[in-house]
Amino acid sequence: MNFLSRKIYLYNVTMGLYMLDWWERCLFSILFLQLF
């Protein structure tokens, strides 16, 4: 597991995104990036 995939994994686990589908995760990430 390289550095980037580890960061993405930690991000998904922290936000609870691992329970979502891939498209829900993408949608949430886009909204999250627009807010900050």
The CA-CA-CA angle for residues 3, 24, 17, to 5°, reads 45
Per-residue confidence (pLDDT) for residue 5, from 0 to 100: 86
3-state secondary structure string, 2-29? CHHHHHHHHHHHHHCHHHCCHHHHHHHH
Q: pTM (2 decimals)?
A: 0.42
The string of pLDDT tens digits covering residues 1-36 is: 689 888 888 877 777 766 778 888 788 888 888 887
Per-residue confidence (pLDDT) for residue 1, from 0 to 100: 61
Per-residue confidence (pLDDT) for residue 11, from 0 to 100: 78
Per-residue confidence (pLDDT) for residue 17, from 0 to 100: 64
Per-residue confidence (pLDDT) for residue 22, from 0 to 100: 80
